[in-house]
Amino acid sequence: MFGVAVKPAVRKIIHCDCDCFYAAVEMRDDPSLRGRPLAVGGRAEQRGVVATCNYEARRFGVHSAMPTSQALRRCPDLVVLPPSMEKYRIASRQILSIYADYTALVEPLSLDEAYLDVSHASQQQGSATLIAQEIRARIAATVGITASAGVAPNKFLAKIASDWNKPDGQFVILPSQVEDFVATLPVARLFGVGKVTAAKLHGLGIQTCQDLLTWSLPDLLRQFGKLGNSLYLLCRGIDQREVIASSERKSVSVEETYAVDLADLAACQAELPTLYASLQGRMQRAQAEQCIQKLYVKIRFADFHQTTVECRGSTLDAQVFADLLETGYLRASQPVRLIGLGTRLADQREETQLSLFPVLA
């Protein structure tokens, strides 16, 4: 039911997030990198992007998803290393093993980030605060990197709290503190609020959750549709989502960014066989062939404009991808810097967990 602000059962949720994970692993393995601006990502000459960077690099304005070429302009002394995914997966498995000592309710969001529901944990006399401290200490001792944690009565607040005292910090929001904490929170921090929605909220004179409290649910629904219901609840500190230990994969995809723009449709079509073979392999590894619901093609043009074309389909079909590519290309008919092929999977629980973590293309 929309907007019913029912007081949820009090949970003890921890959100753990390793600090600059990829870069931290690299600095652990090569101490000479410590204290130097470091990024892990693709090469500038291949139009790579920064996957993550350490805090020394962030002081120069470098951040994740930034083109490596731009990062190097901001920080000429930046050390850029290619991702070593197997090392990161090993570290991630070590961290997950630590989490499992406290609760079975662990919901990974990525290799280095997860929610834990420790409502019924017996360790540390059931104190989520002490459990989070112990987990962070064990990660440091076992994996050799630092992690930050947020402790709160729900997932929304725990995730915000984990970012409050980064790096290597912890922040706790007790149930009695929720109302006061949320009231001062900028609406841009609310889950689901991006730049466009934030600008709309600001245009309506809504800067903080305290401002949002004055809006009725019907008014929020009129202004923001279904998101209005979420805004109504979150500004009151209510998030009833449970920590889900299993994870259902929604899509499988591959993409390639080209060092030199593909000049025309023929050049784009020539890349399809390689992309298609890569997608076939990834689908097989994910055991997702029987779950296909849609096929899609993503194109990013030279001017960074992006378009996606999709259609219904239950099996991989090279000709369908070729047709989708042509449709998407004709929307702009200009050189192409990136092509992606993907499938959207049926919304159903799999008997076998497909994947907890994204696979880098």
For the chain, domain boundaries: 13-19+86-176, 21-85, 179-234, 251-345
**Is domain 179-234 annotated with CATH 1.10.510.10?**
no
Q: Which long-range contacts (CB under 8 A, 24 or more apart) does 313-320 make?
A: 313/343, 315/289, 316/276, 316/279, 316/280, 316/283, 316/289, 316/292, 316/343, 318/272, 318/273, 318/276, 320/295
Percent of the chain with pLDDT over 90: 78
Confidence (pLDDT) at 333: 92
- DSSP run (H or E) holding 85: helix 85-100
261 vs 350: which has the higher pLDDT: 261
Mean pLDDT of 201-213: 95
Q: Determine which one of 113, 134, 255, 256 is catalytic.
A: 113
Q: Is 349's pLDDT higher than 70?
A: no
pLDDT band at 251 (very low <50, low <70, confident <90, very high): confident
pLDDT band at 354 (very low <50, low <70, confident <90, very high): very low
Mean pLDDT of 18-47: 94
Pairwise CA distance, residues 352 & 176, whole Å? 40
How far apart, in Å, are the Cα atoms of 105 and each of 13, 17, 111, 164, 245? 10, 16, 16, 23, 5
List, for residues 167-177, the tens digit of each pLDDT value: 999 999 999 99
Under CATH, what is the fold of the domain 21-85? Answer: MutS, DNA mismatch repair protein, domain I (3.40.1170)
Token pair of 93 as six digits: 């498995």
Superfamily of domain 13-19+86-176: Reverse transcriptase/Diguanylate cyclase domain (3.30.70.270)
List, in order, residues 6 or more apart from 293 with CB less than 8 Å away: 312, 313, 314, 343, 344, 345, 346, 347
List, for residues 146-189, the tens digit of each pLDDT value: 999 999 999 999 999 999 999 999 999 999 999 999 999 999 99
**Cβ atoms 16, 102 nearer than 8 A:** no
Q: Could you tell me which residues are annotated as the binding site for Mg(2+)?
A: 17, 112
Q: Which of 93-102, 179-188, 286-295 has the lowest mean pLDDT?
A: 286-295
Pairwise CA distance, residues 173 & 182, whole Å? 10
Confidence (pLDDT) at 247: 61
Q: What is the pTM of this model?
A: 0.73
Q: Is 40's pLDDT higher than 60?
A: yes
Nearest to 161 by CA among 139, 141, 181: 181
Pairwise CA distance, residues 204 & 39, whole Å? 39
List, for residues 109-118, the tens digit of each pLDDT value: 888 999 999 9
Q: Could you tell me which residues are annotated as the binding site?
A: 17, 112
Confidence (pLDDT) at 47: 81
**Is there a catalytic annotation at residue 113?**
yes
Confidence (pLDDT) at 248: 65
The rounded radius of gyration (Å) of the Cα atoms in the chain is 22
Mean pLDDT of 219-238: 93
Token pair of 267 as six digits: 């050049």
Confidence (pLDDT) at 246: 66
List, for residues 7-24, the tens digit of each pLDDT value: 556 799 999 999 999 999
Confidence (pLDDT) at 286: 77
Q: Considering the domain 251-345 in this protein, what is its CATH number? A: 3.30.1490.100
pLDDT band at 284 (very low <50, low <70, confident <90, very high): confident
